[in-house]
Structure 1
Amino acid sequence: MSLGDDTGQTRIRLPEGSDGDPYGGARRGGRSSSRSLVTVVGVVVLLIAAIAFANRGGDDSAAEEGAASADSPKAAATAPSGKKPVTTKAAGIPAGFTHDREGAQSAAANYAVVLGSAEMFTKARRDAILRSIIVPDRVADFEAELDKAYTPEFNKNVGLNEDGTTPKDFTFVSRTSPIGTKVTESSADTATVEVWCSGLLGLAGESSTNPVTSSWFTITIQLEWTSGDWKIVTHSQKDGPSPVPGDERASSADEMAKAVQEYGGFTYAR
């Protein structure tokens, strides 16, 4: 169902017919029109109710908060707080997170994005990223560890040139998108945060032997409050949770390359 367009009208998409016509085949008589009118009226009523609920006064919310126990929000562990993303950056990476559990989750989500980005495949940029998000006394260890991981052989396996550059006429894709976060341990100045993510990796191009594929994984990040911000002490990754794949048509190489070039990323806040 689609609600609203540029003309201010409400459009209702009927269920698909047996012949595959998304609009239900041949046009029906007045009975179908009456049913559509009832559906439209029902949708409008639901919208009004939803708006009224969203605009309720603060008294009900306060009562609900008072009645809830300290651990009651477990079922909504990834519900957004409504806080705005940070407005500052360090080395092009979001910075200046709040000194609390929500700030730690925001930091972990944003750090997961940059650790899974295409920028990590370039030595100079990778080192700058690590200096920005890792606790100072662990930066050298991270640099050495990742230098061993991002080898010429690894670059070739993902479709890049040995030096990490992208072959001519191709678009390299490496993106991580957080789906949700969860704090598993925390204290005043430390936090362990799990970030559930989806990822894209591959080379978009007509003759690519490494097409862009998707994956699902969870990154566990241990953070420490250092020099006025959350920094990474350690991080690890495991597969899943992974949903059942949908039946969408895979996009062409040109479509995928264009999407990567035209759609920017986000700054994540808990």
Structure 2
Amino acid sequence: MSEQLLRLDHITMQFGGVVAVDDLELVVNEGEIVALIGPNGAGKTTAFNVITGVYQPTNGAVWFDGAKIIENHPQGKMKKQYKGQCDGLYTETLSPTPDKITRAGMARTFQNIRLWKTQTVFDNVLIAKHCRSTSSVFSAAFRLNRKEEAAQRAQVEELLEIVGLSDVKNELATSLPYGKQRRLEIARALAAEPKLLLLDEPAAGMNPQETEELTAFIGEIREKFKITILLIEHHMNLVMGISDRIYVLDFGKLIAHGTPAEIQKNQRVIDAYLGVADDA
């Protein structure tokens, strides 16, 4: 049986009186592709922001690669405002910054493409590679890190070849077609050498052909990089075609979890999110 790579224990994220994520428990095993789906506003991106250190959860803990990396509990005014569960279960406060979580082995993309607009395709990926640099500011300033820099540039060349962007490496990132910009954003995340890749609506804005190509691309990423993937997505053909397991959120609460076949038959998920096709 595969080992757990990521585990969320009773994660609650409350903003004032609004509970965006409510007592979420989720597991991603090594080598899996797991999808997190649900209607707009269900709390999916909020959950991603907790996992990656953008938000500190109001309550709960996150385990990654065998270690607890995040923990929090209601404090201050939130002690009275807290509407979630398990408020007495956690006592520590662990709140690493996103850069530390990236170095621990996570990388993510965003709903809205966030490429460096004035940089080339190559430089977008190279800059992301710097999170793995071992050189100091001093050694970089005096070019004492030439060997490491040369190795990183070679790794970027290889990565762009693998993801099919080597032919546009010298073009500005924003000059690429939309589908290739999405691919570049994923390549930039891969440059951080993650164990877990989090994709936030990677098919957003894509036409059916681009979505089909992306579905195949995500599958290739798992095989070529031996990587684990957690994704948020609204394109059900992509989700059902590539996911090993699926979690479904509705109004911040987990309403279902299972294989694609199980989720498609789950009446609660159909009512809340999937719907049914009209009779012809």
TM-score after normalising by structure 1 = 0.31
TM-score after normalising by structure 2 = 0.30
From the CA coordinates, give the structure whose radius of gyration is larger.
1
Higher relative contact order (CA 8 A, sep 6+): 2
